[in-house]
Chain A
């Protein structure tokens, strides 16, 4: 009798398990509806009741082939490309907060690829090419807008430096051109090019394919497309430790929702990269600094492009909502506070008001800070680590948004193959031992 009861209980449990699996399968299979004009029309006919969640949020499995730590654009994108290009779909993205709530949702959305060194041009141009087709690829409007990025030159040094960049870019097949002050004014009418200006302009470099995109949509678009390919997206799940096997290799992560096993781990944790890497006893050459940005009250369309000035340190564009989006510089000290000093912002606004006198009476609406992970040479790290099966994508510092698709794409390659893609070979951790730095810090002056 007893034996029978045990079997019956076991059967019941199996039955429950089977139903649970079936239910989960159904949940996961919730076929992603393609977004199109027809879908909008169809939903308009039935009071928009048919829209489904963009990604599913399942309970974590006990283990995965790959765990990505960090649910920003880079991490979600890497999961998407792992599934799409490398056939690895047993993947989880683990995010301690909400998707895109870190630097992905805090940046000023500038996209360009006019860097000086080949290692940088390789990855940023790869990224720019992916930006150009990203909305179609993801079936999600990331609002990539190639409205042109103009970098102002204020003195002889700027002019020489920018022309060097332009020549380097054009020799490498990347568009970048020199504008006279008059041509710059024609391209961006609000610009003050008078000789008596506080910061007179003697020319500008223009990358026409550069521009902006909608940052939230990038995170959401990648999440939706990755989820559709079976990737698990797990939010509100903080990694508290990285567990290692007898050979030192990673075996999984400790989280506030328990242990989750993993054959490989990719760390894509931006400002918290040092903290996460230390869980695996790896020290990285990073300093986390506050970086602030702010937006104005919404205005009618007035500003046609992105303008950056390294010398007076300001960059500005207008979002599709109409807000002027303005980026400040990093604070000098290392901090995880996600706030910065007010003097940094006022310094930037001083410069903006001098360059664009018409904005002097515009009110600023919101201001915020993020944590940027900066390397000594201001170039990113995408690398294998001394710990087997642990990979890191960090050090994007103040310029990670523009790199999102390219970085994610090449990070997926690194995780899948265990060695860097040709275009990311220079970004290894090893360069700090060999001394083969990619010194964009010197090449880009301030803004990045």
Chain B
């Protein structure tokens, strides 16, 4: 099992224990705010940070209207299942109070302003989304009436958009507008409930333009198998074959359209950032790596947990925050989609706390970087202000994103001073160091931050510099070598004795001979292996030594291969785990192969299989070790060389095993293939059996225990 899996299991058990018996953390861990803030680095390790946003206050408890029975009096009229919140360019806040079929306005300071008068004719019915454009026109997704209305700030109806007639709209298209956004040209982008066609884009007059930003159908290996075997009807009936539906839409000041999607099988592109032409702007690679394309973070993900993002808020610099409706996690990214923070607190059913959202419906941010989250269960709005630390990080990151590395540097230094583990600061400083040609520093910082591409690029520069500095020296060495060689050739002509090989030491020890035989096996596998069998060229002792060397080489290559090719280089890795991974597979192979061979008229004894399989691992020593060494002098631009050698080593080992079977068991090629297939099958069966045996014994123990418990405890 991988260490990460082991960790996961330990973690789940830990979580379970926490659920059953909650043990308070010591006072020192508990921060003052009722939630904790995190960052997750590229290696997936969780970093705890100071809060980026601090709870400020709740809004929406001071809404008063004239008493319908006695208009001279004011009565309280709280929000009811409000579904959307929008903050316009002047920080005025609008809330779609869906349960009360109305729109509520708030002043920039958070105080209640007024309620828009009911529309004449058809009043709003369950309005679930709204948007305010630069001209102070208010667009409301009037879900219950299947229309979008455009109002002025007084609430007067200016225009009404219904589903337009178009042959491009499918006949079974159900139009239930829940969210709406409008671009600078006045084009509308409408989210219809559960629609997988994408956003319905209308022109300012209400004419159909196109379906925009539709998600792709997720397609897995399993699907391709199903497609092969299922009939067309069966295949189409599969519900999961629909593209993930868009949950929400937003448009920022620069004209980018953002969609937020949710689907059972959606593992990436939960957030998309598109220009008018539909081009994606997130997840694009840079010198920092492949770019982030998954959104909605978790501290500890439980199996099958998927981010269910509800809404997105974009600040003036293009940084965005999304909120997960299930985990209540707020995740914050910069304009390129790189993670900055994520935070959430545990909402207890018994408490309502400042800063803790029970059921988030919408999120938005104003020009002062205050965050607003609409809670449609508690029927109020939680507000947050940026903390010192949050403000510092955003300021520094905005400068880095703009390429002003030098200006960002002192800020990042301050961030790193406050939190030495905060990777974005390391990346920011690394970029700054790279830009100012301090490649050694950049390399170190990229290593700390876990960024392979950046590390490799910095290393490439260092290596280039190193070679350039020593160009003269290398040329001299080369010339000297040529001269020496020529001199030797000339001398050899005159004194033929020089051409005789130098006197070799005779290896007398049998063990050394057996060990040396492993090299012979590499060159002449068929002969070499049969010599193991018939010429006593191998023994258990030599096999164990080679096995131990192979394990050491394997472990060294796991831990010492350059970070450029090996993410594990900066993770803690346990020798025991590597040992188990290495030996369980090997022992499984040896046992299965011996059993299968002895049935299939093989001639090899157990010892032969054991020794042969050990000798077949020699490439780990002769290729793996040097490759590990060389990898530390390679950058990503030589990745193909590295990969060729690395995979070549694996292929070689595989071939050696094949030859081992063929030669030791004295098989024809066909028999060898059959033997190999059976061996593989046996290994799987042994694995499954072990698993079942282990599972069953646990079950049995649990069964007996539960009977005893039932009798004694009840």
Say whether A associates with B: no
The interface of chain A, by Cβ under 8 A from chain B, is none
The interface of chain B, by Cβ under 8 A from chain A, is none
